[in-house]
């Protein structure tokens, strides 16, 4: 009773005088601990540290790309999570709902979150927060192997390349490219993706698939290839920044408007704004040796040739150990656009990007340290998960690999539209119902390479 009266007096004093300060609570009394049959005084055990939260994009409010039967008005919370984490097993997502770990709210304004059920209906603009553990994955002991092939790969290399194929239809191939594998070859480069694909991924076609867009050698993720000349032409048109005409049909136009790519990257530091759009034109310069080409931000002086470059970005979670996971969505396709925009426009170079972030990497100390959870202010503490080899290009290795991964791609169903166009303008009595039933939009999600999985698990293991 006496303690209750004292607390009421302290509260009333603060209300009368806002500058009055409440004395900090006394430190917890030491408790007796016994270890190895020896008793000693020690501090009481601390409670569980807060979970690092991963922010999903706001719910778009329209049918999910690639799911023809889904209505925007009846998308449940668990359907939205399964769609966004397409590579995560559904039971793993259901487990987070069962534990009450899936929440909804706005951290920027009120800071309040509420738990949601799997059956809750999503409204436009709803933002869901989940622990980063939802995207954790086990790391295979056998890390990515890059074929040391010539123009004639052997049976093992052909099998390896075919394991990279995520999707195949009469028009396109979609692969999950590993890091350090060049996309376009030259005279001294024989084991490039285009040469290997031409030799190993032709399947029953007379010619192998052709590249329609590129990824950097050090980058990983979804790589698209065309299998026929009509599909290659349509895909080149899709990835062109200047689309002079919209062929085929209105449905094709709508599918083209829904097309996008999303990348995940680990950057050093954290952008000032949690999300935004970068509009910074790029230009190319030659270094002092007269041979090395470098992409930089254009100065808009009008004296140099520049290209428009637009990138949409979003921070996925808090800064942990000096680094942040961000999501990048390029609106234009320029060489090294994402790397330059991260390093120069945002001031947060991508981990492992020694070309555009060399200065920061020289000063960066890859040392574990305590960071703070932004909503509660409680500290995290780095804990290395058991069984992980951090010397495989992860964030804590001496020389990290580039942490840039093309994770998601949405594009029109090229095979369907080409076939329907043939049937519509050919000598066909009616359209093939098999193609009519296929979705207008295809969506692909690629899992991260081993070194980024290790970094993800390291950066999400602050629950001690």
For the annotated catalytic residues, the residue numbers are: 216
Backbone angles phi and psi of 198, in degrees to 5: -65, -30
> According to DSSP H, which parts of 178-246 are helical?
193-200, 229-238
Backbone angles phi and psi of 213, in degrees to 5: -155, 170
How far is Cα 436 from Cα 233, in angstroms, rounded to an integer?
A: 22
Please name the residue that has the structure tokens 């409010």. 61
> What's the first-to-final CA gap in the chain, in angstroms?
37
Tokens of 457: 């698990």
> How far, CA to CA in Å, does 172 sit from each of 127, 175, 233?
34, 10, 12
Tokens of 280: 């910074």
Backbone angles phi and psi of 222, in degrees to 5: -70, 130
Tally of CB atoms within 10 A around 90: 11
DSSP letter string, 40-108:
EEEPPPP-PPPPPEEEPPPP-SSPPTT-TT--GGG-BHHHHHHHHTTTS-HHHHHHHHHTT--EEE-TT
Q: Which DSSP state fits 375?
A: T
> According to DSSP H, which parts of 172-218 are helical?
193-200
Tally of CB atoms within 10 A around 5: 9
Tokens of 131: 């622990």
| CB proximity list for 130: less than 8 A, separation 6 or greater | 53, 54, 56, 81, 96, 101, 102, 103
């Amino acid at each position: 009773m006496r303690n209750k009266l004292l607390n009421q007096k302290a509260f009333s004093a603060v209300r009368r005088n806002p500058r009055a300060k409440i004395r900090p609570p006394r430190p917890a009394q030491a408790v007796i601990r016994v270890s190895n049959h020896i008793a000693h005084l020690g501090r009481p055990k601390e409670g569980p540290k807060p979970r690092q939260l991963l922010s999903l994009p706001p719910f778009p409010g329209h049918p999910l790309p690639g799911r023809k039967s889904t209505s925007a008005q009846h998308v449940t919370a668990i359907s939205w999570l399964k769609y966004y984490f397409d590579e995560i097993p559904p039971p793993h997502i259901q487990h987070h709902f069962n534990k009450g770990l899936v929440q909804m709210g706005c951290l920027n304004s009120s800071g309040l979150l509420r738990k949601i059920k799997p059956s809750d209906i999503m409204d436009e603009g709803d933002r869901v927060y989940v622990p980063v553990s939802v995207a954790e994955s086990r790391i295979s002991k056998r890390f990515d192997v890059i074929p040391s092939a010539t123009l004639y790969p052997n049976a093992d290399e052909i099998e390896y390349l075919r394991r990279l194929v995520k999707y195949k239809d009469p028009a396109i191939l979609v692969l999950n490219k590993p890091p350090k594998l060049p996309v376009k070859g030259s005279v001294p480069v024989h084991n490039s993706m285009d040469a290997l694909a031409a030799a190993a991924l032709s399947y029953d076609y007379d010619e192998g698939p052709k590249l329609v867009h590129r990824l950097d050698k050090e980058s990983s993720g979804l790589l698209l290839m065309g299998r026929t000349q009509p599909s290659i032409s349509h895909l080149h048109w899709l990835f062109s920044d200047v689309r002079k005409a919209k062929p085929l049909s209105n449905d094709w136009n709508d599918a083209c408007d829904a097309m996008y790519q999303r990348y995940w990257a680990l950057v050093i530091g954290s952008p000032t704004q949690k999300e935004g759009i970068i509009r910074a034109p790029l230009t190319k310069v030659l270094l002092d040796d007269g041979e090395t080409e470098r992409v930089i931000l254009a100065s808009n002086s009008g004296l140099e040739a520049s290209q428009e470059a637009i990138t949409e970005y979003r921070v996925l979670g808090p800064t942990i150990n000096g680094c942040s996971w961000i999501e990048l969505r390029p609106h234009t396709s320029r060489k090294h656009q994402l790397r330059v925009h991260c390093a120069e426009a945002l001031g947060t170079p991508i981990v492992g990007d020694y070309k555009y972030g060399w200065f920061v990497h020289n000063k960066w100390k890859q040392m574990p340290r305590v960071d703070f959870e932004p909503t509660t202010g409680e500290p995290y503490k780095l804990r290395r998960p058991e069984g992980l080899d951090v010397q495989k290009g992860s964030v804590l290795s001496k020389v990290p690999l580039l942490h840039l991964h093309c994770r998601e791609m949405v594009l029109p169903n090229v095979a369907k539209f080409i076939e329907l166009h043939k049937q519509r303008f050919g000598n066909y009595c009616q359209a093939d119902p098999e193609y009519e039933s296929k979705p207008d939009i295809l969506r692909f999600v690629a899992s991260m390479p081993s070194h980024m999985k290790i970094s993800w698990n390291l950066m999400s293991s602050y629950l001690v």
